[in-house]
Each structure stands twice: as structure tokens, then as C-alpha cells.
A and B are shown apart, each in its own frame.
Chain A
Amino acid sequence: MDDQFADLPPARLQDLLHQMMLIRAFEEAAEQLYLQGMIHGTMHLSIGQEGAAVGACAALRPTDYILSTHRGHGHCIAKGARVDQMMAEFFGKETGYCRGRGGSMHIADVSTGNLGANGIVAGGVPMVAGVGLSIQMQRQDRVALVFFGDGAANEGAFHESLNMAAIWSLPVVYFCENNQYAMSMAIARASKIERLSDRACAYGIPGVTVDGNDPLAVYRATREAVERARSGGGPTLIEARTYRWKGHSKSDKQRYRTKEEVKQWQERDPIARLAQQMIEASILTEGDLATLQARVEQEIIDAIEFAKVSPEPDPATILEGVYA
């Protein structure tokens, strides 16, 4: 296999495609269930950004850690979580990943190294330095990757974390999903610099900007950063440029952007892109694609069924989960 596919074998490429399709289908289903009142609260959909989540996680081992964001469904699936336990969490069920306590914004699967989504913008960013420090002090062969948005890069804690990881050469990857907006705040209004990855130079670490809608480009950049981190070379800041197709959350009138802009980005669908590349290279057929789609749909149907029949948490356990 040539470098067009970043040295990934066809079976692995199909996995990545499958993951992206699963994320999309999961979120589309979750949105419908929300509109039907089956899921409450709010949720932040990453539809359109699947390439970043999947490309980044593809460069990680199961034993590596991720810290995720409020827009974290894709990260969770890409790191290997089961969609049935995720869906059960959305339904607030005892069988969910957080036993119904966390919901969409706190989804985590510790067993696959996902230390959790986060309700706080940049909430995971300072923590990742601690995870990196822990890996370093325990002499483990692990890497910690933190996802965060363009908006998160303007929290003070972002700067403290990058600096600490840099001076201690921690095995950390800072992965910024620049989807052009922080809620209504366009990146150009929130930052004077054109490339967020340029901030890396302020901390003396490498920074790189990639097309976040090209999962293989994301994979390549992350692989390099992960190798550096694993071999003691310290942290890297990656900026993956992408776009969220849906509103920020379930209560967004989207007055800050135009329909044309959304449409333009939709034409750069990361899923269609990889599928097309594979078909052109004759390592995927239209038939394979249809089979993948059918498989994904079945997985979602099964997940919803699992969530529906799962028990609610026992109210008698309400005080569990805190020591104080």
C-alpha cells in the first residue's frame, strides 16, 4: 500500500470508514431521539468532524489515553467504545457508561482509555498534563491525547498546560479541533493569529495544522506526534481544521453563519472523501460501502433497543459515587 493511504492496510482503512459512518449514524439517531423526547438535556453533535476524531484515534493504541470534550461522541466511538452502552447512557440508564449519571456531556469509557468527555471548555486540557506526568513517572509506554476546540484554546488553562507539558517533555498530544466557531464566536474574531498551531512556538514545541476533514492527513500528523511523545520528545500541538454541520447544541438559531457556508463545508464530507479515495484505488466497492452502511444501521438499531430495555438507576443508590 502506498503512502496515499498512510501505510494502512485495506482492512484497517475499512475500519476507519466504518467508525466514521458509525459516529455519523449514532449522532443522527441521537438527534432524532432527542427530538422525540426520548433523550433529555442537551447534546453537541460532531457531524462533519468525524475525520478528526477517527484519524487521531487511529494513531493511538488501546492502552493510550484520550481526554475528550462536550462534543465527544466521535472521540468515544473512535477510541473503541460500544454504541449500545453509549446509547444507554444517553437514555440515563444503569447500563450506560456512566450508569446514567453523566449523559452525553460526560460520556467516558475508561476501559478503552477514554477518560471522559467534559462539560467544561478546556476542562481536559490542564488535566492531560497530569495524565502525561503520571505516565512519565510510572515509566509507562503510553501517550495521552487531549481533544479540545478552537474556543478552548482561549482559556488561560490551555497556556498553563502547554507550558508545563513542554518543560517536562510530557508524552502528550494537544489535538485542537478547529471547527471555525466556538458557539457563535468565529475563530477570526477570537484570535488574531491565522493558525492556532502557531501558538506552539510560544512554548517551544512543534505545531502543525492539518485538514481535519481528511482522516488520513489527520492520522499522519497524529502518528508523528504520538511517536514523538512516546519516544520522549515531548508534546505537539495539532490543529485540525474542520466544521460542525449542526448547530452548537440543541438551542442554536445559527444567526452567526450562513447556509451557504455550511453547504460549502458539507461538500467536503470526510466520510465521502475516504470512501471515494478507496473506491478509486479499488480497495472498496460500492457493494462494500452498502454492506458497511447496513451494518452501521443495524448496530444503531441494536443500541437503541439495548438502551430502551435497560433498567433505570435505582433511586436508592443516588448518594453513591461520592466519598464526601
Chain B
Amino acid sequence: MSRELTYAEAIREAIDLAMARDERVFVVGEDVGVYGGAFGVTDGLFQKYGAERVRDTPISEAGIAGVATGAALTGMRPIAEIQFMDFITLSMEQLVLQAAKLRFMLGGKVQVPLVVRTPAGAGTGAAAQHSESLENWFVHVPGLKVVMPSTPADAKGLLLASIEDPNPVIFVEHKLLYRTKGVVPEGDYITPLSQSEVKRSGRDLTIVATSLMVVRALEAAVRLAEEGIEVEVVDPRTLKPLDAEPIVRSVCKTGRVLIVHEACKTGGFGGELAAVIAESEAFDYLDAPIRRLAGLDIPVPYNRELERRMTPQVDDIVAAARRLVREAR
């Protein structure tokens, strides 16, 4: 059975299911209890599971990451919430130097099954310190998995997979996706990590997009189809470990690839994707250079129009795709 849920509801359902069947799973973070989370994602879980398992913390992001890491190391399955991805900068040491490395450093004798959920992204007028998309910082760290769902169903399925995973997972949500709706299967529904998915097929151009940009790319694809341009949209869903095969296969088919993400272009995940494609057999099939469309290399501005221009919009994707199908190598 399936029904429509919002992205936020789908995440909540996944947490609820995991908590109901596994005593080790607990939620820890700022205002996750009575308040229900800054974006309402954990709403109602406190009433159902109580203060011990839906645990409010002081404003201590290093502490939250540490508590989650220590608990995961010794038999629990914490789901930590970092209220905005920007604040994960305060958690970095415990996540990057401890959680990510413990298993390796201790010769494989321990596991750190922790999930850090955190909302990224601009578009809410919250300016430079509440709008970051920092996923690629974590992609760079061996020992972390990085997941970025674009649909409610993926959000549920990937979160359940992340909770079951024995490794630390950085689970990056998007603020503008929380209210988007989609069909979500009921019950135990798992979307395995590291499976890229073709969200729409087409022959002229591949768009590889992440998170909110998948939604925008699909909208762009509808408009481009009206002009006779058939776009294939591939969503990696798990950035690391990346399932490159569907991406490479798609580029081999279309010969053209546009990579779209919201994070700043320089040092963003697009560079990694471009390299993966360039190093693969798809290189020989490319009819045009690999192109990236990404956030401008500036902090997110407050002004509405500047903020809009800072991140790729549907119009920008349409324009970039149009240019690319006309381009030759």
C-alpha cells in the first residue's frame, strides 16, 4: 500500500518505524522533543517515545556529535539532528576525526552506526549562516557515507537504510523539500544506499542532479520535452559511496551531461562527478564537454532576488541544457 506523504512526514515515519522495532534507536538534538524539531520533522515522536529516546539537548553541536558517536560505538543507534546544516561545522571534529575514522583506526574492531540528519539549502531568506549545502565536505572524508534524498519515498527508504547501516551516515535533507508530496510505500520500505536512480529517461542529454535540484531538473525536463529535447535525469541519492554505473551508462547513451547542484561550484560534488565521468568509458561517448551548473561562489545573500540568482533555478537548467545540446566537442 502506498499513499502520499510529505518529505518531512516520510522522514518521521522512517524514524518512527525504526524506533518502534529497535530499542537502540533514539533521537538526539536541539528542540527535537516538545517543539518537534525546527522544521517539525520529529513532531509527535516525543509524545510517543518519551524524553529518554527523543532527547532534547542544550545548544551544543560538538556535544551532540560526540554523544551520538560514543553511543553508537557502544551499542546504540542514535539519530542525531543538527538543526541546520550550517551548524554541523561545530560538530566537525567528532564526526570527521572520530566517528569516521574509529572503525579503521581500531583495526575494524568497532562500528559506529550513527545517522546525522540535517537540513541544507537556501531559498528561505535565512541568509548566509542558515542556508549552506556542505555535503561535499563530508564526501571528502573516508569513513563517512553521505545521503541526499530528493523525494519523500527516497527520504523514507534511504533513512531506514541509513539507520540499519553499520557506518556513520550524514543524511542531508532540504528545507524546500520538506513540504513536497509524493507517493510513499507503507511499512518497512528500504531504499538501499549506493544505488543511483534514473528519475526520467531521455536520449539527448543526461542531467545528474542532487536533492532539490532533482526536482528542478525534472521540471526543466518537462519544458525541454516540449521543445523536443529529451532529457535523462539521474539522481545519485547516495553521494558516497557513489554508484557511478547508472550515471556512466546514461552518459554513454546521451553523449552529453549537465551536472546540477545547489552547493557552490568550486569544490562541490559536481567536480567529483565530472571526474568520475571523465575517467570512465563514457569519456569516449561525449559529444560535448561535461558541464556544471551550481551555486555561485558566494555566501547565500539575504535579498530575495540575489538569493534566487545564487542557486540554479528551473530556467537556468533549461537554458544550460539547451546550450549543451547544441554544443559540439
Contact = CB atoms under 8 A, between A and B. Distances in A.
Interface of A: 40-42, 89, 92-93, 98, 100-103, 105-106, 118-123, 151-152, 154-157, 182-185, 189-191, 251-253, 255-256, 312-313, 315, 318-319, 321-322
Contacts of A101: 127-128, 299, 301-303, 306
Interface in B279-310: 296-299, 301-306, 309-310
Given A41-B302, A119-B86, A157-B90, 7 more contacts: A105-B129, A106-B302, A119-B127, A119-B129, A123-B129, A154-B59, A313-B303
A93 B207 CA distance: 35
Contacts of B36: 255
B127 to A, nearest CB: 5
The 10 closest A-B pairs by CB, nearest first: A41-B125, A119-B129, A103-B302, A154-B58, A92-B303, A184-B35, A40-B125, A100-B303, A190-B58, A151-B59
A184 B126 contact: no
Interface in B36-50: 36, 38
B59 A103 contact: no
A183 B31 CA distance: 7
Contact of B305 (A42, A98, A315): A315
A100 B297 CA distance: 18
Contacts of B60: 154-156
Nearest to B35: A184
Interface string B116-129: 00000000111111
Contacts of B301: 100-101, 313, 318
Nearest to A255: B34
A184 B33 contact: yes
Contacts of B298: 318-319, 321-322
Contacts of A152: 59
18 contacts: A41-B126, A41-B302, A100-B301, A101-B127, A102-B128, A103-B127, A103-B302, A103-B303, A105-B130, A155-B61, A155-B62, A182-B30, A184-B33, A185-B30, A190-B58, A253-B35, A312-B303, A318-B301
A43 B129 CA distance: 14
Most central of B87, B90, B124, B303 by chain A CB within 10 Å: B303
B63 interface: yes
A66 B130 CA distance: 22
B240 to A, nearest CB: 26
Contacts of A151: 58-59
A93 B61 CA distance: 33
Contacts of A155: 59-62, 90
Contacts of B302: 41, 89, 92, 98, 100-103, 106
Nearest to A256: B34
Contacts of A313: 301, 303, 305-306
A124 to B, nearest CB: 12
Contacts of B63: 156
Given A105-B129, A105-B130, A151-B59, A185 B305 contact: no
Given A156-B62, A184-B56, A322-B297, A105 B126 contact: yes
Contacts of B38: 183, 251
Contacts of B62: 155-156
A255 B296 contact: no
A155 B90 CA distance: 9
Nearest to A121: B59
B127 A41 contact: yes
Contacts of A190: 58-59
Contact of B309 (A41, A154, A183, A315): A315
A252 B59 CA distance: 17
B303 A185 contact: no
B324 to A, nearest CB: 23
A106 B128 contact: yes
A247 B71 CA distance: 33
B263 to A, nearest CB: 15
A321 B299 CA distance: 9
Contacts of B129: 105-106, 118-120, 123
Interface string B44-75: 00000000000010111111000000000000
Contact of A183 (B30, B90, B126): B30
Contacts of B304: 40, 92
A318 B296 contact: yes
A101 B31 CA distance: 28
A255 B42 CA distance: 14
A42 to B, nearest CB: 6
A70 to B, nearest CB: 9
Contacts of A255: 34-36
A122 B60 CA distance: 10
A120 B86 CA distance: 9
A89 B303 CA distance: 9
